[in-house]
Amino acid sequence: MTVAHDQDAGRLRPDMDAEAVDAAPVATEQAQAEAAETVLEPLADFPHIDLRIPGEPWTNRRAAGKVLRGALPLAAHAAWSPPGDRPDPVSLIERAHRGRQEHLIPLRVARMASSPFAFLRGAAHVMAWDLAHMPDTGIRVVLDGDAHIANFGLFGTPQRDIVLDLNDFDEVTIGPWEWDLKRLVASVNVAARTHGVEAQARRLAVTATVAGYQHTMHDLAPQGSLDVWHQATRADTLSFVGIAIDEASRALVDKAVEKARKRNNKSLLEQVGERRVDGGWRFREEPPILMRVDDATREAVTTGLEHYAETLPRERRFMLSRYHVVDVAHRVVGVGSVGTRAYVALLCGNSDQDALFLQVKEAVAPALAPYLPGMPEPYSSHEGERVIYGQRLLQGVGDPLLGWTTVEGRPFYVRQMKNMKGDIPVSCMTGQPLQFFSWAYGALLARAHARTGDAAAIAGYCGGIGKTGLSEALAEWAEAYADQNEADHAALVAAVASGRLEAAEDPHV
């Protein structure tokens, strides 16, 4: 039900159109709560779909979103000051280390300590606490949960096109849409600071991020659900509502696409593989980043891959059956993921040149898990299935070999490794490219959210095209939170200096 405030009854009623809602007085807190519980219902799994009940018109849902501004004004998003009961950020990081491989935790600490931006990437648990202790709109979507600027990238489609989209889903869950947007704008500000961008340019980049989100959500609000789900952003066009790509950004994309096209199973085999004495392939060790595993672990991972095959569509399972495991190694990845168990399996098929690399990555509870109800069953009972389900929901085009499994009692997910994958280097995002990619990533986040959330309600809350209330508020918030992130990073560095945390030398520096 939707949508408007009935003063006499003190509740929302469904018989008012968008124009009437626009003129209606601001709803009471009770009415706002009812709006969130009815129009903006929590997402859930649908074991049975009822195709007999029509939904509300998108104009009514947009109006309901506008009404929610009475309970949480756009300007309220500008405020940030740490609550008095905010935990020590180092203690939250230590808590995130529980269950990880202890010998790799010093490497994780070293990577996080290397810069404020690296700290932000690894400190999802810190930001999760902060977001959970701020007011929220109540409009739920499937959240990426870690939508920072470095978690967008290029990858190949089954048709061998290159697309730009979100590319990391370890923290996926269900929650308020603005939590993803706030993590993104904070990362834009922090990354810009790291590369010497001045305050005014940082502000413009953040407002561009929000404008990209806002313009795209307004564009998607009236569209059919099938149209929304069909949208994907090819790297050769990079078409976004409200902005055209500039020459400098185009040059960055072209260079990144050229590198991505050269990243395939054959080139990866030459990069990380070596011949055994008997002529077969094995991984070339690069301690501690890439290490072959013992026979028992190799057997456990291979068994896990056999069970993973059961989560694939039958036609892809048939294709996978033509490969066999040649070698297995443990590979350290990322910043926040360091310490989790991440294996890479080399498989060969038609010949020893027909290589397939699969990443088998441990899936742990998302950083936002303590503060949200989580994914519906059955996706909440296996963390690997949660990640894959979320990725399939959020990405315009996905890896055809996505699946999940269990290895030695731990949940994992499986995907192809580096096949036609690439990134736009954050270090190159200054000047016009910073503005363009900030807008683009905001637009891509909006597309992802619109696949599972109510684009009309979100668009109504954000305000009309050209309205700067939300973008200005989040620019203020991002600048203040970047200050907080620098203070938290300094606390981590101090913890290393005092001996509270150990930092190992990073071989990739």
Q: What is the pLDDT of residue 509?
A: 60
Helix (H) or strand (E) holding 194: helix 177-194
What is the b/e burial string over 444-473, where b = at least 16 CB atoms within 10 angstroms of the residue's CB? bbbbbbbbbbbbbbbbbbbbeeeeebbbbb
Residues with Cβ < 8 Å from 145, sequence gap 6 or more?
A: 124, 169, 170, 171, 172, 173, 175, 180, 366, 367, 368
Q: What is the pLDDT of residue 40?
A: 43
What is the b/e burial string over 280-313, where b = at least 16 CB atoms within 10 angstroms of the residue's CB? ebbbeeeeeeeeebeeebbebbbebbeebbebbe
Using the predicted structure, report yes or no on whether residue 153 has a pLDDT greater than 60: yes
Question: Among 424, 470, 433, 442, which Cα is nearest to 208's?
Answer: 442
Using the predicted structure, report yes or no on whether residue 451 has a pLDDT greater than 90: yes
Residues 143-172, mean pLDDT to the nearest whole number: 93
47 — pLDDT class (breaks 50, 70, 90): low
Q: What is the pLDDT of residue 296?
A: 97
More confident residue, 413 or 466: 413
Residues 170-175, mean pLDDT to the nearest whole number: 96
Which of 44-58, 181-195, 488-502 is predicted with the least confidence, judged by mean pLDDT?
44-58
Q: Provide the whole-model pTM.
A: 0.90
Structure tokens at 170: 């370890």
SS in 3 state form for 56-116? CCHHHHHHHHHHHHHCCCHHHHHCCCCCCCCCCHHHHHHHHCCCCCHHHHHHHHHHHHCCH
CA distances for 252 relative to 194, 235, 245, 440, 468, angstroms? 19, 11, 11, 14, 29
User: What span, in angstroms and rounded, lies between the C-alpha atoms of 389 and 399?
Assistant: 12
Q: Report the chain's mean pLDDT, rounded to a whole number.
A: 89
Using the predicted structure, report yes or no on whether residue 23 has a pLDDT greater than 90: no
- Measured in degrees and rounded to the nearest 5, phi and psi for residue 135 equal -65, 150
Distance of CA 118 to the CA centre of its chain: 16
CA distances for 286 relative to 281, 289, 331, angstroms? 16, 6, 9
Domain ranges of the chain: 4-70, 74-246+424-498, 261-416
pLDDT 10s digits, 466-503: 888 999 999 999 999 999 999 999 999 999 999 999 99
Amino acid in position 72: L
Residues with Cβ < 8 Å from 29, sequence gap 6 or more?
A: 71
pLDDT 10s digits, 87-99: 999 999 999 999 9
Q: What is the pLDDT of residue 279?
A: 81
Is residue 134 packed enough to be buried (19+ CB in 10 Å), middle (13-18) or exposed (0-12)?
Answer: middle
